[in-house]
Amino acid sequence: MEVVDEQGRAIPQPTQENKRIIAGVFAILLGALGIHKFILGYSKEGLIMLLVSILTCGIGAGIMGIIGLVEGIVYLTQTDEEFYVNYQLNKKGWF
């Protein structure tokens, strides 16, 4: 089955490199540290989450944990195709 985007272009089908499950689980469990961002290749975003958690002596970790929880739920509720297009093909950094 061929998937097309809003402009009618064919979207490549997800391969074994689709990291939806692993990124979603890490986002829920270790979201405050930004590990899920590093898994997806978003080094800048992952470093931001990690530094906010560490440099605020854990105060910012609560906020980063909530962001990670929300992102994990978003990752896991999307289909493989949606996740692939949004986070691996289009490199959507946040939510």
**Number of domains present in the structure of the chain:** 1
Give a yes or no: residue 13 inside a domain: no
Cβ contacts of 87 within 8 Å, gap of 6 or more = 20, 23, 40, 75
pLDDT tens-digit profile of 70-83? Answer: 999 999 999 988 88
Q: How far apart are CA 93 and CA 73, in angstroms?
A: 15
Q: pTM for this one?
A: 0.78
Give a yes or no: residue 55 inside a domain: yes
Segment (H or E) for 26: helix 20-30
Residue 76 structural domain:
19-89
Q: Strands 3-4, 10-11: parallel, antiparallel or unpaired by DSSP?
A: antiparallel
**Average pLDDT score over residue span 18-35:** 92
Give a yes or no: residue 10 inside a domain: no
**Average pLDDT score over residue span 24-47:** 94
Give a yes or no: residue 94 inside a domain: no
Give a yes or no: residue 95 inside a domain: no
Give a yes or no: residue 2 inside a domain: no
Give a yes or no: residue 37 inside a domain: yes
**Average pLDDT score over residue span 4-21:** 71
